[in-house]
Structure 1
């Protein structure tokens, strides 16, 4: 993930897998972003993550949040414009 340093990270957290899948689909269709992973937290919570330019990630997370709300429960949305390289160590491995 070293090549992702300095590229925005967007996260959409839902309660339920259906909302997370809908959010992921909407995010990659709405903007030029790369889906980089998902994390099942427990209790039905799922976080989906995308990377890309700040504007694209913001547009993608807005679209993902709206899509998740339509079919399930949206918990949280957040964009980190330039995550520090140390943050990469706590992100889930690609391919989750």
Structure 2
């Protein structure tokens, strides 16, 4: 079964931290990437079943939007069934660090 990918990008650290926390609590997903996108923008990516990733992204969006001033939600997207070429280019695989947390 293919696993969906959900990504949230924020401007500033507090909103991405709040989004990541909300995403992991809202759905049965695994955090596969977290990092700096550009300037002061951060990304967080999760993988899991499509319905769980959708719920997690919605919770992450709400958390990022309600974080106190100093940051904002820049963008978000959900890819229900990423093709292999996307997985080979982007850091979306389950690494050794996250494999033990895989759901």
TM tier relative to shorter chain: 0.7 to 0.9
Q: CA RMSD in A?
A: 1.5
Q: Distance in 2 between matches of 1:83 and 1:47?
A: 18
Moved over 3 A (4+): none
Q: Is the 8 A contact 1:38 1:92 kept in 2?
A: no
* Structure 1 residue 77 displacement after superposition: 1.2
1:32 paired with 2:28, answer: yes
Residue 13 of structure 1 corresponds to which residue in structure 2?
A: 9
1:69 paired with 2:68, answer: no
Structure 2 unaligned segments of length 5 or more: list them.
98-103
| Count of residue pairs the alignment pairs up | 91
Q: Distance in 2 between matches of 1:37 and 1:8?
A: 14
Q: Which of structures 1 and 2 has the bigger CA Rg?
A: 2
Q: Distance in 2 between matches of 1:54 and 1:8?
A: 5
Q: Is the 8 A contact 1:36 1:51 kept in 2?
A: yes
For residues 40-55 of structure 1, the aligned pairs below 5 Å read: 40-55=36-51
* Structure 1 residue 90 displacement after superposition: 2.0
TM-score normalised according to structure 1 size:
0.87
Deviations 1:8-62 (CA, angstroms, capped at 9, x unpaired): 0000110011111110000000010001111311211111000000000000000
